[in-house]
Structure 1
Amino acid sequence: MADEARWYVVHTYSGYENKVASNLKTTVENRQMEDLIQEIRVPTEMVTEITDDGRRKEVERKIFPGYVIVKMVMTDESWYAVRNIRGCTGFVGPSSKPVPLTDQEVANLGIEKHEIEVSYKVGDAVSIVGGPLEGFIGVVEELELDKNRVRVMVSMFGRDTPVELELDQAELV
Structure 2
Amino acid sequence: MVETIKKQWYVLHTYSGYEDKVKSDLLSRAQSMGMQDYIFRVMVPEQEKIEKVNDKKKEIEEKIFPGYVLVEMVMTDESWFVVRNTPNVTGFVGSHGGGSKPSPLLDEEVNRLLRQQGEPVKRPQIDYEIGETVTIIDGAFNGVEGKITEIQPDKYKLFVSVEMFGRATTTELDYDQVKKIN
* TM-score, normalised relative to structure 1: 0.65
In 2, Cα distance between equivalents of 1:100 and 1:23: 21
The separation in 2 between residues aligned to 1:99 and 1:157, in whole angstroms, is 42
**Alpha-carbon distance in 2 for matches of 1:93, 1:130:** 28
Q: Structure 2 stretches of 5 or more lacking a match?
A: 124-133, 137-143, 150-156, 158-164, 178-182
The aligned counterpart of 1:102 is: 106
Confirm whether residue 49 of structure 1 aligns to residue 51 of structure 2: yes
Return structure 1 stretches of 4+ with deviation > 6 angstroms: none
Distance 1:164 1:46, change over 3 A: farther
Structure 1 match to 2:77:
76
Q: Counterparts of 2:94 and 2:10 in 1: how far apart (Å)?
A: 9
Structure of greater Rg:
1
- Equivalent position of 1:66 in the other structure: 67
CA gap 1:40/1:48 in 2 versus in 1, 3 angstroms: same
Structure 1, unmatched stretches of 5+, are: 116-128, 138-147, 149-155
| Equivalent position of 1:88 in the other structure | 89
Structure 2 SS opposite 1:95:
coil
How many percent of aligned residue pairs carry the same amino acid?
A: 43
Structure 2 residue aligned with 1:35: 37
Where 2:28 maps in the other structure, the secondary structure is: helix
Query: What is the TM-score of this pair, normalised by structure 2?
Result: 0.62
SS of structure 2 residue aligned to 1:48: strand
Root mean square deviation of aligned Cα: 3.6
Q: Equivalent of 1:8, from 7, 10, 18?
A: 10
- Matched positions, count: 142
